[in-house]
């Protein structure tokens, strides 16, 4: 508003042209506008292969359990990515594309999520989830695992902390917890069933599910939603629509076990620790004291929502 293009023209002393005639020549050739995308184009699924190098199924001997993994990178330590409840290993796709330039990435579909299938997909106890991850690592790397950095988001963050507390990985060299704090998580559990029941349950297409996840705020990055949301869905033949793969509402008995005592376990983990938070108000008392004592690094990543990665 500070410029008035209708003001009197000023003469250019160099060649006698007026400023207004120069302006008209500058704007004479307008660039073509990009074509307007339809909703089906904007929210069309993206292939995992643009972010990871390979996918694989890891079968656990002596059971019917099969865990799906995505891998990227060829050198360096292994960054083990554990997703949150209702997500999948593909929620780390955009991160993997960057991390694989300096390290290897292993993103796992946890029990009851993504393309992993087990004898009991509803057993999401912290103990079971930890054992699942350790079994997969043992099959992939045997008795000589590489240096491992565990990155866990939300529920996956609690699993990561519990694994560290077990001291079962001799080559563990780092822990990154993404937006989960014991105090906040425990306080929110009483609202979880209502939150889960209020979310949209059925989708006419994968594109509609992606659009809902973005507009509903569970994922703010459209590209991330396009690559990760399809892995969170299953097709219901009886209802002729897509629905959520993970039946979180049926696993309430395990929720408290994910987060109880989490802060103390996090602080006592004997490796370098990083806590990524979406807001500074999420620290509980134990972590606040630990942070003041310099026991871990904390980074607040604003304007991302819960799924920071």
Query: Which CATH number is 268's domain given?
Result: 3.40.50.1820
Which residues belong to the active site?
154, 179, 306
- Kindly state whether residue 31 falls inside one of the protein's structural domains: no
- Kindly state whether residue 242 falls inside one of the protein's structural domains: no
Structural domain harbouring 158: 45-198+248-300
**pLDDT value of residue 25:** 52
Q: Please report where in the chains the tokens 């005592």 appear, as a residue.
A: 261
- Kindly state whether residue 206 falls inside one of the protein's structural domains: no
- Kindly state whether residue 77 falls inside one of the protein's structural domains: yes
**pLDDT value of residue 302:** 87
pLDDT tens, N- to C-terminus, the chain (309 residues): 444 444 444 444 445 555 444 444 555 566 666 666 777 789 999 999 999 999 999 999 999 999 999 999 999 999 999 999 999 999 999 999 999 999 999 999 999 999 999 999 999 999 999 999 999 999 999 988 999 999 999 999 999 999 999 999 999 999 999 999 999 999 999 999 999 999 999 999 999 999 999 998 788 899 999 999 999 999 999 999 999 999 999 999 999 999 999 999 999 999 999 999 998 667 888 999 999 999 999 999 988 889 999
- Kindly state whether residue 144 falls inside one of the protein's structural domains: yes
- Kindly state whether residue 203 falls inside one of the protein's structural domains: no
Q: What is the arrangement of strands in the sheet containing 297-300, beginning at the earlier edge strand?
A: 54-59, 66-72, 104-108, 78-82, 148-153, 172-178, 273-277, 297-300
What total of structural domains would you count in the chain?
Answer: 1
- Kindly state whether residue 2 falls inside one of the protein's structural domains: no
Helix/strand/coil for 169 = coil
- Kindly state whether residue 94 falls inside one of the protein's structural domains: yes
Give dist(CA 277, CA 9) in Å, integer. Answer: 54
């Amino acid at each position: 508003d500070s410029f008035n293009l209708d003001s009197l023209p000023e003469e250019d002393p160099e060649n006698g042209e007026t400023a207004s005639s120069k302006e008209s020549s500058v704007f004479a050739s307008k660039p073509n506008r990009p074509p307007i995308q339809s909703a089906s184009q904007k929210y069309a699924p993206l292939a995992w292969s643009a972010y990871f190098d390979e996918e694989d199924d890891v079968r656990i001997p002596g059971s019917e359990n099969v865990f799906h993994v995505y891998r990227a990178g060829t050198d360096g330590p292994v960054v083990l990515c554990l997703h949150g409840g209702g997500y999948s290993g593909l929620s780390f796709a955009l991160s993997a594309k960057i991390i694989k330039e300096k390290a290897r990435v292993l993103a796992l579909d946890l029990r009851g999520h993504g393309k992993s299938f087990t004898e009991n997909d509803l057993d999401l106890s912290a103990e079971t989830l930890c054992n699942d991850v350790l079994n997969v690592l043992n099959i992939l790397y045997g008795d000589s695992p590489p240096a491992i950095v565990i990155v866990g988001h939300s529920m996956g963050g609690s699993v990561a902390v519990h694994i560290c507390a077990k001291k079962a990985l001799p080559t563990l060299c780092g822990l990154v917890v993404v937006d989960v704090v014991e105090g906040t998580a425990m306080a929110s559990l009483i609202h979880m069933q209502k939150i889960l029941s209020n979310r949209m349950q059925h989708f006419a297409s994968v594109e509609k599910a992606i659009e809902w996840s973005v507009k509903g705020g569970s994922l703010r990055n459209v590209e991330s939603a396009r690559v990760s949301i399809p892995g969170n869905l299953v097709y219901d033949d009886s209802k002729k629509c897509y629905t959520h793969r993970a039946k979180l509402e049926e696993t309430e008995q395990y929720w408290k076990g994910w987060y109880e005592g989490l802060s103390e376990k996090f602080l006592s983990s004997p490796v370098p620790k990083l806590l990524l938070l979406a807001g500074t108000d999420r620290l509980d008392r134990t972590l606040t004291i630990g942070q003041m004592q310099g026991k871990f690094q904390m980074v607040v990543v604003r304007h991302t929502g819960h799924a920071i990665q």
